[in-house]
């Protein structure tokens, strides 16, 4: 819920109406939802409403999937843990639900199963009726045990969906006139700075980025897939084995995930970085400081070229949270924001998106990036 709407709701408690504030809210070109970093920048959670009156759920706004789902009332505690559940009996806007079954397995192996329903979904100060979404009756343990996450809010293209949607809710909001543009934009804050972020439907927030947005065309309208043409360190040799690589821009993934030869090339440029099969790559925590403990500056750059645009990323920005086994000799070790896997694609997750404000444009099938402000 954005700030003007919070003020409006507070005044309403006391029977006060601010007509100027009401007009400001109604004339807004978009609607925003506050995000919060949890588990030290592993995922970003925001609140939505489903039904009338809205039943509130904490969700991950995920550009790497297309389905919206939350737990159903019938989901047992053994499957859905202590998560909030949607009860259609408490909603006056419940649609004619035929309980069509669906199931989805995510790339990390987690699975959800349930049935589809039709309801009003509320985002900030707008409500969109007749939206198809999933009600989950069973889910795997890694989802059930996430104490912050009730469900997923998919924002990829409809061909990726399993619940039978024909258009994204972003497109539906635009078609209904609730937002002026069919776009959704993200600012992801860092836990060390309070972890506050923001997702906006229909607009973007210039207060969160520097300069102009650089747009990259989507090459496949399923995921938000773009072409990664080169990757190098300090303008050195291209570490891709081919001239181009498909890259998926995914707000629902914590890391940058690349094939092993790329990951090894990146970490070879970081003094003291080491790989362990059980925990992946680790980096000395002091590498994130403006100056390393041996007096050398740590301003080396990983240059990522998407389409025809360059997006540099400081290697020190790859340092994440403290590792499970924190010491290597006298040095404190942290996890790396880059992981390796035998994959035919590169995934640009939150490690990249924390440094670049992102605008996902359904109308022009493109993604805009600009350097995020701290």
Q: Which residues contact 212 (CB under 8 A, 6 or more apart)?
A: 370
Which structure tokens are listed for 266? 């990146």
CB 373 within 8 A of CB 197: no
Residue 250 annotated among the catalytic residues of the structure: yes
CB 71 within 8 A of CB 84: yes
Which structure tokens are listed for 145? 């045990």
Neighbours of 46 (CB within 10 A): 21
CB 25 within 8 A of CB 17: no
Residue 299 annotated among the catalytic residues of the structure: no
Q: How far is CA 186 from CA 62, 177, 328, in A?
A: 11, 21, 36
Which structure tokens are listed for 303? 């240059």
Number of H-type helices and E-type strands within the chain: 7, 25
Angle (CA) 100 156 256, round 5°: 125
> Catalytic pick from 60, 146, 172, 250?
250
> Catalytic pick from 41, 60, 62, 67?
62
Active site positions, annotated: 62, 250
């Amino acid at each position: 819920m954005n700030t003007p709407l919070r003020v409006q709701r507070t005044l309403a408690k006391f029977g006060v109406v601010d007509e100027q504030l009401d007009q400001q809210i109604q004339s807004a070109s978009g609607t925003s939802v506050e995000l919060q970093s949890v588990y030290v920048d592993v995922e970003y959670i925001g609140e939505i409403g489903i039904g009338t009156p809205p039943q509130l759920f904490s969700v991950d706004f995920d550009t790497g999937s297309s389905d919206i789902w939350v737990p159903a009332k019938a989901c047992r505690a053994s499957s859905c843990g202590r998560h909030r559940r949607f009860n259609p009996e408490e909603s006056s806007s419940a649609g004619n639900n035929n309980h069509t079954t669906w199931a989805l397995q995510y790339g990390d192996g987690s699975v959800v199963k349930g049935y589809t329903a039709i309801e009003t979904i509320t985002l900030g100060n707008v409500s969109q009726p007749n939206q198809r979404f999933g009600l989950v009756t069973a889910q795997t343990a890694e989802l059930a045990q996430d104490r912050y996450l009730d469900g997923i809010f998919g924002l990829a293209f409809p061909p990726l969906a399993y619940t039978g949607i024909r258009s994204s809710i972003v497109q539906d909001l635009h078609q209904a006139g609730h937002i002026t543009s069919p776009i959704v934009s993200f600012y992801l804050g860092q836990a060390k700075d309070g972890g506050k972020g923001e997702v906006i439907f229909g607009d973007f927030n210039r207060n969160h980025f520097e300069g102009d947005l650089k747009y990259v065309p989507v090459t496949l309208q399923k995921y938000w897939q773009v072409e990664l043409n080169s990757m190098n360190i300090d303008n050195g040799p291209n570490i891709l084995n081919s001239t181009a690589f498909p890259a998926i821009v995914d707000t629902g993934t914590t890391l940058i995930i690349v094939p092993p030869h790329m990951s090894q090339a990146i970490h070879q440029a970081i003094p003291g970085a080491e790989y362990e099969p059980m925990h992946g790559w680790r980096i000395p925590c002091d590498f994130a400081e403006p100056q390393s403990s041996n007096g050398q500056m740590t301003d080396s750059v990983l240059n990522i070229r998407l389409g025809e645009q360059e997006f540099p990323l400081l290697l020190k920005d790859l340092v994440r949270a403290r590792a499970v086994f924190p010491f290597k000799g006298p040095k404190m070790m942290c996890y790396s924001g880059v992981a390796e896997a035998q994959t035919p694609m590169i995934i640009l997750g939150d490690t990249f998106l924390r440094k670049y404000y992102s605008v996902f444009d359904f109308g022009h099938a493109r993604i805009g990036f600009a350097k995020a402000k701290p």
